[in-house]
Amino acid sequence: MSVVFRVLVLSAVALLAALPVGVGAQAQEGERAPTSIDGSSPETISGVVRNGTAGAEAPAGLWVTLRYQLASGELVEHDTVTQPDGSFTYTGLPPQGRPGFEVRTDYLGVEYAHRALGEPLVGPLELTVYELTSDFDILSVVDDTLAVTGADGQQRRFAVLEAVKIRNPSDRTFVADTLTDGPMSMVRFSLPEGASDLEVEASLPGGHVLQVDRGFALTMPVPPGDHDILYVYRVPYEESFKQYTPNFPMGAETFRVMVIEGVAESSGPGMRVADNVTIGETEYRVLEAGPLPPGQRAAVMLSDLPQPTLLQRAENAVRSDGFRRGALPGALGVVLVVAVGVVLLRRRRRARSRGDRDADKAALDNAHAGIIAVIAELDELFERGAIEPEEYRVRREELVKLARATQ
pLDDT of residue 20: 35
- Coil vs helix vs strand at 365: helix
Residue spans of the domains in the chain: they are 16-129, 135-319, 329-405
Block means of pLDDT (10 residues each) for the chain, 407 residues, are 39 38 36 49 84 94 95 93 95 91 94 91 93 93 94 90 96 85 74 92 85 83 95 92 91 94 91 91 92 93 85 52 36 47 51 56 71 80 81 81 74
How confident is the model over 117-157, as pLDDT tens digits? Answer: 889 998 899 999 999 999 999 999 999 999 999 999 888 89
Q: Do domains 16-129 and 135-319 have the same CATH topology?
A: yes
Phi, psi of 405 (to 5 degrees): -70, -20
Burial class for 153, CB neighbours closer than 10 Å (0-12, 13-18, 19+): middle
Contact 142, 166 (CB under 8 A): yes
Class of the CATH-defined domain 16-129? mainly beta
Topology (CATH level 3) of domain 135-319: Immunoglobulin-like (2.60.40)
How confident is the model over 336-384, as pLDDT tens digits? Answer: 454 555 455 455 544 445 555 566 666 667 777 777 877 887 887 888 7
pLDDT of residue 113: 94
Q: Give residues with Cβ within 8 angstroms of 380, minimum separation 6.
A: 212, 213, 214
